[in-house]
Amino acid sequence: MDAIVYGAAERNRAHEPVNNPGIAPIAMPDQPSPTDIPGVDPEGRLALTVTAEDAGNRVDRHLGRLLAPHYSRSYLSALLDEGTLRVGGRKSRPSYRLAEGDRIEGALGIPASALPGPEDGIEYRVIHSDPAIIVIDKPSGLVIHPGAGRKGGTLVNGLLKEFPEIAVVGRAERPGIVHRLDRDTTGVMVVARTNEAAKSLVGQFKRKTVEKRYTAVVWGEMPFDSDWIDLSIDIDPRKPVLRTVVSEGGQTASTFYEVEERLGPATVVTAMPRTGRTHQIRVHLSHLGFPILLDPPYGRRITGSWNGWFERRKKAGLPVPTMSRHALHARHLTLDHPETGERVTYEAPLPMDMVELIEILRES
């Protein structure tokens, strides 16, 4: 689970209508992402250098032509007036005449055309909802919010259909989201329904007062019944989409685990991450030499032994698991309710693919 830094949505939505359930959603596959707009990164930040051809133009007119129709000229002028957009690191008037080599930088916000909209057919189960929060049981394969390479079909799109009021909660490109689960990790998640709830929840994640418990099935017999894993994590330089344990630098990461059941070739563990780094549990358990089953990015070393076990059972006519994603499930979440302050717990039962996996391993 990764805590997301909370930020007000007003600037991101200063030039766009709020999602309304009475308005037909824009077709997500046709929407541009910020990375399709010249000089704009996925977070809506502008960085461009003025060419000789564009020198002499007013900065507001130049940006208005370059960024239309995603950002209006009046909106860009307002950003220049308040200093959010700067030329050469300095606040500039909209009428400033550009010179060759001028650097224009600043936060534009996510354009309306790139923001997520409501979609039908997104499957997830609501465990609990009240005026402040929504608690869901996320299925495998569901991405949390649109991002690079994915413009729709996410949890956020489904939530906007069922709970349109979250459109103005938190960050405009991922409304209501205060933490995340990996695409193929199942289980319990909390979503903020108001900005006040978002502030409270993000604060709890930062203070590490949210209790998270995951069930994981790892390959091998773990030597200790419980232990802390305190190992820093950073981006894997060989494959930046993955993470790796590092001895210097990186982000501090701490996970406590307890063995729940020993199953011969495998072990069922409860993992309780104190921090919320990307892929933290998967990276930590893999580094110990006990990777989560069916997690190729972090479990290549066990591929041979797992495949051998699988094929032997298959040839013997014995049941084999049908599970096709990593065996990790967020089963338990305890937090302080943002409105009442009451300590509350929400749980999601193990999905059937993990139940089947554990039963077959138990038989072996």
CATH number at residue 89: 3.10.290.10
How confident is the model at residue 284, as a pLDDT? 98
How confident is the model at residue 161, as a pLDDT? 95
- Where in the sequence is the domain holding 174, given as residue range(s)? 125-363
**Catalytic-residue membership of 2:** no
Dihedral sign of CA atoms 218, 295, 146, 143 in order = negative
State whether 90 and 164 are in the same domain: no
Question: Is 31 inside any structural domain?
Answer: no
Distance CA 14, CA 161 (A): 22
Q: Write out pLDDT tens, residues 133-174.
A: 999 999 999 999 987 667 799 999 999 999 999 998 988 888
Query: Does the predicted TM-score (pTM) go above 0.85?
Result: no
| Structural element, H or E, at residue 190 | strand 186-192
How confident is the model at residue 11, as a pLDDT? 32
**Chosen domain end from 83, 108, 133:** 108
| Structural element, H or E, at residue 199 | helix 195-207
State whether 133 and 104 are in the same domain: no
State whether 100 and 164 are in the same domain: no
How confident is the model at residue 37, as a pLDDT? 79
Per-residue pLDDT at 3 exceeds 80: no
State whether 201 and 275 are in the same domain: yes
How confident is the model at residue 113, as a pLDDT? 66
| Structural element, H or E, at residue 4 | none
- Mean of the per-residue pLDDT values of the chain: 88
Active-site residue identified among 60, 102, 137, 182: 182
Distance CA 267, CA 287 (A): 16
Asked if residue 355 lies in contact with residue 134, where contact means CB atoms within 8 angstroms, the answer is no
Number of domains composing the chain: 2
CATH number at residue 151: 3.30.2350.10
**What confidence category does residue 71 fall into, taking pLDDT thresholds of 50, 70 and 90?**
confident
How confident is the model at residue 72, as a pLDDT? 80
State whether 96 and 236 are in the same domain: no
Question: Is 115 inside any structural domain?
Answer: no
How confident is the model at residue 149, as a pLDDT? 65
Q: Write out pLDDT tens, residues 102-111.
A: 999 998 877 7
CA nearest neighbour of 76 among 107, 52, 51, 50? 107
State whether 89 and 197 are in the same domain: no
Average pLDDT over residues 74-94: 90
State whether 160 and 97 are in the same domain: no
How confident is the model at residue 343, as a pLDDT? 98
State whether 204 and 327 are in the same domain: yes
Q: Write out pLDDT tens, residues 185-213.
A: 999 999 999 999 999 999 999 999 999 99
Per-residue pLDDT at 14 exceeds 60: no
How confident is the model at residue 2, as a pLDDT? 39
Dihedral sign of CA atoms 68, 70, 75, 81 in order = negative
State whether 95 and 148 are in the same domain: no
Q: In the structure encoding, which two tokens stand for residue 37, read together?
A: 């707009």
State whether 50 and 165 are in the same domain: no
How confident is the model at residue 18, as a pLDDT? 31
**Chosen domain end from 55, 83, 108:** 108
% of the chain surpassing 70 pLDDT: 88
| Burial class for 357, CB neighbours closer than 10 Å (0-12, 13-18, 19+) | buried
Question: Is 205 inside any structural domain?
Answer: yes
Of 15-19, 34-38, 270-274, the one with minimum mean pLDDT is 15-19
Q: Write out pLDDT tens, residues 25-61.
A: 323 334 445 556 778 887 788 999 999 999 999 999 9
Q: In the structure encoding, which two tokens stand for residue 179, read together?
A: 């933490």
Cβ-proximal residues to 140 (8 Å cutoff; 6+ apart), any chain: 183, 184, 185, 186, 325, 351, 353
Q: Is 81 in a helix, a strand, or coil?
A: helix
Average pLDDT over residues 60-71: 88
How confident is the model at residue 164, as a pLDDT? 94
Average pLDDT over residues 89-96: 93
Distance CA 216, CA 259 (A): 10
Q: Write out pLDDT tens, residues 219-263.
A: 999 999 999 999 999 999 999 999 999 999 999 999 999 999 999
**What confidence category does residue 23 fall into, taking pLDDT thresholds of 50, 70 and 90?**
very low
How confident is the model at residue 12, as a pLDDT? 37
Q: In the structure encoding, which two tokens stand for residue 250, read together?
A: 């990186």
State whether 55 and 182 are in the same domain: no
How confident is the model at residue 112, as a pLDDT? 66
User: How would you classify the pairing of strands 103-107 and 233-235?
Assistant: unpaired
How confident is the model at residue 9, as a pLDDT? 32
Dihedral sign of CA atoms 229, 231, 236, 240 in order = positive
How confident is the model at residue 277, as a pLDDT? 95
How confident is the model at residue 148, as a pLDDT? 66
Q: How big is the chain by its Cα radius of gyration, in Å?
A: 24
Per-residue pLDDT at 82 exceeds 90: no
State whether 103 and 248 are in the same domain: no
